Amino acid sequence: MIEGDEPGETMSDAIRVIQLSDTHFREDDAEPEGNHSYDVDLAFEAVLGHLGDHGDHDMVVVTGDVADHGRSGQYQKAATAFSQFTIPVNVTPGNHDQAAAFVAGMGRPGVGTSRVVEAGPWAFLFVDSNAGNMVEHPSGRLVDHEDYDNRLHREGSLGEREATWVHDMCTATAAEHVFVWVHHPPANPVPLMKATDYTAEWSSLLSALPQIRGLGTGHTHIPASYEFEGRGIHVAPSFKNSFDLENETWLPPGYRTYRFETDGSVSSELHLVDHERWPRRPLGRALKSLFMGEITFEQLEAIAARRAASTD
């Protein structure tokens, strides 16, 4: 339990949070979706070692794409890894995660999928940015489309139900400040991932909900911090592969840390785990063209196939 979340208790110290994102765990014999991946098991071990004695933090959050293909065995690996933390871990899904397998697989002592965590003057909302891409079951529940690619290859969408939930939680909580953990970042500066409709959903929410102080996100594999509607948007790196578009290099895996002050201010720091197994090598021209929105994923795969055939 986070210190200070007992009813009636107040907190005098900042809340400190570790954010992981896009861990993309997979079975030992599974090929990575999209063909290229770091060894995410080694990446997790490196991040855990880099954190060292992390007991001075209050919570770990994981902002989606926990599993690479959304399969139950991949969540078992993820839960085993996350259980090594000595502080509570809370997880929200990404577009690679299958909803039912995610909820079932993340249920472990010390690892949870709570939608709201209140701590002192703060309420942390764990928002599902895939909700608008799901379909309604006859029971009224939202479930994944039977075609997994329908979820995998679509940008964020809250939909009316999830957007209403965010509004309701902000008005229901007794906390003075709210921070959102969500997979897809709005107003994404990467041309490939603009997601105009999704950004409009968040613009409407943030305009109506001044108590939201910022968002912690993932998805792009391109760590960044920028401002949107007067709030800080912080994007975490990935364990699978990460990139620096400004310097046109690959990046090693890493994580973010946060301080949430009692006055509502938020600060975040990016941490990358440099090692010779993850060199900061130059981006290829085709990969850069993908991020700039000049070619599609399908065209990139075709380029890679032609290059592979020419070296046979």
Q: Which residue has the tokens 């070619």?
A: 295
What residue spans of 143-267 are helical by DSSP H?
148-152, 159-172, 196-208
179 touches 61 (CB < 8 A) = no
Please state, in angstroms and as integers, the Cα–Cα distance from residue 173 to each residue in 119, 120, 253, following that order: 11, 11, 35
Query: What is the CATH code of the structural domain delimited by 15-128+162-186+205-281?
Result: 3.60.21.10
Structure-token pair, residue 311: 């070296």
Structure-token pair, residue 203: 């613009």
Write down the pLDDT at residue 6: 40
What residue spans of 173-242 are helical by DSSP H?
196-208
Distance CA 283, CA 116 (A): 39
β-pair type (249-251, 242-244): antiparallel
Structure-token pair, residue 149: 């690619």
Distance CA 216, CA 268 (A): 9
The Cβ-side half-sphere exposure at 232, using a 13 Å CA radius, reads 18
Helix (H/G/I), strand (E/B), else coil: 133: helix
- What does the chain come to in residues? 312
Closest CA to 157 of 126, 195, 187: 195
Helix (H/G/I), strand (E/B), else coil: 132: helix
Distance CA 105, CA 59 (A): 19
Query: What is the DSSP code (8-state) at residue 215?
Result: E
Which residue spans of the chain are classified as CATH 3.60.21.10? 15-128+162-186+205-281
Helix (H/G/I), strand (E/B), else coil: 309: helix
Please state, in angstroms and as integers, the Cα–Cα distance from residue 65 to each residue in 98, 167, 259, following that order: 9, 25, 24
Please state, in angstroms and as integers, the Cα–Cα distance from residue 260 to each residue in 7, 125, 152, following that order: 19, 14, 32
**pLDDT tens by residue, the chain, 312 residues:** 343 334 334 345 899 999 999 999 999 989 999 888 999 999 999 999 999 999 999 999 999 999 999 999 999 999 999 999 999 999 999 999 999 999 999 988 999 999 999 999 999 999 999 999 999 999 988 889 888 887 888 899 999 999 999 999 999 999 999 999 999 999 999 988 889 999 999 999 999 999 999 999 999 999 999 999 999 999 999 999 999 999 999 999 999 999 999 999 999 999 999 999 999 999 989 888 999 989 888 888 888 778 778 876
**pTM as predicted:** 0.92
- Give the H or E element holding residue 217: strand 212-217
Question: How many other C-beta atoms are found inside a 10 Å radius of the C-beta of residue 109?
Answer: 8
What residue spans of the chain are helical by DSSP H?
40-51, 72-82, 99-105, 148-152, 159-172, 196-208, 285-291, 297-311
